[in-house]
Structure 1
Amino acid sequence: MRFGRVPVAAGLAFGLVLSPMGAAVADPRPTLGQAKAKLDKLNDKADKVVDRFNTATERYKAAKGAYTKLNDRYKSKLATVEDLRTQVIGMAVDSYKLGTDLTSSLPGLMSADRPDDFLMRLALAGQLSRERAEKLAAFDRENRGLKVERDKAEEALEAADRERDGVEKERSEIMKLISEQKKLLKKLGAYNPGNPNSVGIQYTGPASGNAAAVLRFAYAQVGKPYVFGGTGPGGWDCSGLTQAAWRAAGVSLPRTTWQQWAWGASRKVSLSALQPGDLIFSSSLGHVSIYAGDGKIVHAPQTGDVVKVVKLSSYGGRLVGAIRP
């Protein structure tokens, strides 16, 4: 959501264009109101696309993680199969060195000169027979399992590639939006690049307990730039900031705005009963902020702006609800 960012003085940039009588007149520049309306539309669109980008990024990470685990299992099973293959080959070589197949050739056993030797070789033959059968069965079993693990890993890799393509698609759209936003903001004289090294401001509000830790962290980020997909420390997007702030209080939130809202399904609170630390969501779920108490919120607004503290009333009537982590 967007909060009173454009100074009235910036309207001068969109005043009447005076041209000599009879001279060719270029397309009229937008008025201040038109420029702000266009910026609001761009910001709302960017909110949705950034959340899709974050969601796609999380899916890609999950898919890549699944592939890594399956590929590790495949490599482990491959090593096991190779070890069993070596053992099976070794047994075949040993049998050859003995000059006979002790597991099936009675003459080889009967050639012993002494009864003790005969019994020993008979026991050895039985042991070799069982060992060979077990090794061959294990080799066959692991070898068949190898293909299964390889196929699973390949499927996971394909899924990760598809998710990566989704991330790149969203990233491409975001970069176009950012270019438009920056251009318009600079024309309005409202572009703020922020300071990635900002030390923020001190929180002195009414929060206590976990909420106090959340808000101390969030206030320490004030002045840092909004960065799409930003998870700090030098820049944030809205849900990246809320996730990190609550992490500072020992609570693990999902990454995206939509995921945080869904996560808090059983933790919803009335907008009339807000407490410091509560997360407030816009009606489109494209934006989330942290209630700071005293009618204020702290949030990372959008491209060309910085983490800031503003009045809750800046939201207007575009709220869907709040949750209390």
Structure 2
Amino acid sequence: MTAVMMAVMVVLAGQGGAVAEPRPTVAQAKARLAKLEDQADQMVERYNTAAEKYKASKKKYDQLNGQLTSELTKVAELRESLVATAVGTYQSGDTLLWPGFVNQQDPAVMLSGLAAGNQIAAGRDRVLRAFDSANRGLRDRRTKAKAAFDEAGDVLDEVREERKKVEKLVGEQERLLRRLNRFNPGNPNSPGVKYTGPASGNARVALQFAFAQIGKPYRWGATGPGSYDCSGFTQASWAKAGVSLPRTTYTQWSWGASRRVPLDALQPGDLLFSKGLGHMGMYVGGGKMIHAPRTGDVVKVVALDDYWRGRLLGAVRP
């Protein structure tokens, strides 16, 4: 063994064998990318679900907080009324009390005083009851608002955790796509394509909008107008036709429970869902669908068989 070879071996041994691992082959990179795509589909929809939960919790808190502010104003006003009533009673002295009335020499004055006393007592009683009721309502509002605030905070933590997971996974996706020269940044201002298919009514309006988005990039968590994820794309498309879809693949599938259609009876505009509900698109006819595919790709029309190959779960007609 030459001295040079021995020196190299000594250096390698000193590094603890820390030799850079060989880069994956193209085949390995493609296999890894396919796995990441499946994981990303599920993870992005979990993120969307958590984000929607946070929005709902935050909205609930804002509503309760608004009611709490209104209740605080009401209690403050009643407190002022109560103080004014108490001061008035104190300043009126004994003449408004029973002994003062019965000691009046003039019966007419006594009866008039009793009537006034009863009215004042009834008014004071109403203010007291209203103040007590408002205070109980205030405590109830505070408790509910606090619970809603805590709920929103917990969900926000969940959203942040899901975001971290998605960002890490998407980062790896992008690196692999760029290495394979398959990363398409898209064009947020893409003019799209004119729809000339056979759809009519609301479905035609939805598809016209969908085709006008062709070429815009996929972006997880996005709902337009410059980028979309799969469920954000279908939601925005059908919103143009006046149909309000929920935000995620899971909720859109559930929303369509009574609107399911057989896969052999598809019509343009129908929503298509993958098994596992990680992905979805819109049927355009001729065995094709339009969708926002995945990171590093753009809104486009694809053949169903080429894209899903038996992984199609079902369809919903909005």
SS of 2:297's equivalent?
A: coil
Deviations 1:16-72 (A, max 9, x none): xxxxxx999853332222211111111111111110011111111111111111122
Q: Kindly tell me: are residues 32 and 150 of structure 1, through their superposed partners in 2, closer, same or farther at Cα, counting changes over 3 Å? A: same
| CA RMSD after TM alignment | 2.0
1:319 matched to 2:308: no
Specify the code of the residue in structure 1 equivalent to 2:93. G
Deviations 1:150-207 (A, max 9, x none): 1011001111111111111101101101110111111111111111111111111121
Letter in 2 for 1:231: T
Q: Which string of whole-angstrom CA distances, capped at 9 and with x for unpartnered residues, describes residues 271-304 of structure 1?
A: 2221101111111210001011122211000111
What residue in structure 1 maps to residue 15 of structure 2? none
Q: Partner of 2:249 in structure 1?
A: 257
Q: Match for residue 5 of structure 1?
A: none
Q: Are positions 1:210 and 2:184 aligned together?
A: no
- Structure 2 length as normaliser, TM-score? 0.90
- What is the DSSP-based 3-state SS (H/G/I as helix, E as strand, rest coil) of the residue aligned with 1:228? coil
Equivalents in 2 of 1:307, 1:236: separation in Å?
A: 8
Q: Deviations over 1:79-127 (max 9, x none)?
A: 111111111100111112223372x3422x3676755544332221110
* 32-41 vs 283-292, greater mean Cα deviation: 32-41
Is 1:272 paired with 2:264? Answer: yes
Q: Which has the higher contact order (CA 8 A, sep 6+)?
A: 1
Provide the residue aligned with 1:86 in structure 2.
Answer: 80
Matched, 1:120 2:112: yes
Say yes or no: does 1:64 pair with 2:58: yes
Distance 2:179 2:95 in 1: 90
| Distance (whole Å) between structure 2 residues aligned to residue 198 and residue 215 of structure 1 | 16
Between the aligned partners of 2:220 and 2:94, the Cα distance in structure 1 is 73
Of stretches 218-227 and 117-126 in structure 1, the one that deviates more from structure 2 is: 117-126
Structure 2: unaligned runs, 5 residues or longer: 1-7, 13-18
Task: Please name the residue that 2:44 is paired with.
Answer: 50
Q: Any residues of structure 2 matched to 1:79-228 within 5 Å, and which?
A: 79-100=73-94, 102=96, 104-107=97-100, 109=101, 116-228=108-220
- Counterpart CA distance in 2 for 1:111 and 1:199 is 94
* Rounded Cα–Cα distance in structure 2 between residues aligned with 1:261 and 1:96: 68
Q: Given residue 53 of structure 2, which amino acid in structure 1 is its aligned partner? A: R
Give the distance between the partners of 2:136 and 2:276, measured in 1 at CA.
50
For 2:77, the aligned partner's letter is: D
d(CA) in 2 for partners of 1:305, 1:116: 94
Whether the 8 Å CA contact 1:231–1:244 is kept in 2: the answer is yes
Q: For residue 261 of structure 1, what is the amino acid of its counterpart?
A: W
Q: One-letter code of the match for 2:34?
A: D
CA distance in 2: counterparts of 1:116 and 1:226, whole angstroms: 88
SS in 1 for 2:94: coil
- Are 1:290 and 2:279 counterparts? no
Distance 2:27 2:212 in 1: 33
Whole-Å separation in 2 of the counterparts to 1:110 and 1:262: 75
What is the SS of the residue equivalent to 2:58?
helix
2:52 matches 1:36:
no
Conservation of the 8 A alpha-carbon contact between 1:95 and 1:101: no
Structure 2 equivalent of residue 13 of structure 1: none
1:281 paired with 2:294, answer: no
TM-score (normalizing by structure 1):
0.88
Tell me, in whole angstroms, the C-alpha distance in 2 between the residues paired with 1:283 and 1:132.
67
Query: Whole-Å Cα distance in 2 between the matches of residues 317 and 67 of structure 1?
Result: 44
Looking at structure 2, the residues matched to 26 and 55 of structure 1 have their Cα atoms a distance apart, in angstroms, of 40
Deviation at 1:235, TM superposition (A): 0.7
Q: Secondary structure at the match of 2:93?
A: coil
Cα pair 1:280 1:321 within 8 Å, conserved? yes
Partner of 1:16: none
Q: Which amino acid aligns with 1:59?
A: K
| Structure 1 contact 205–294 (Cα < 8 Å) conserved | no
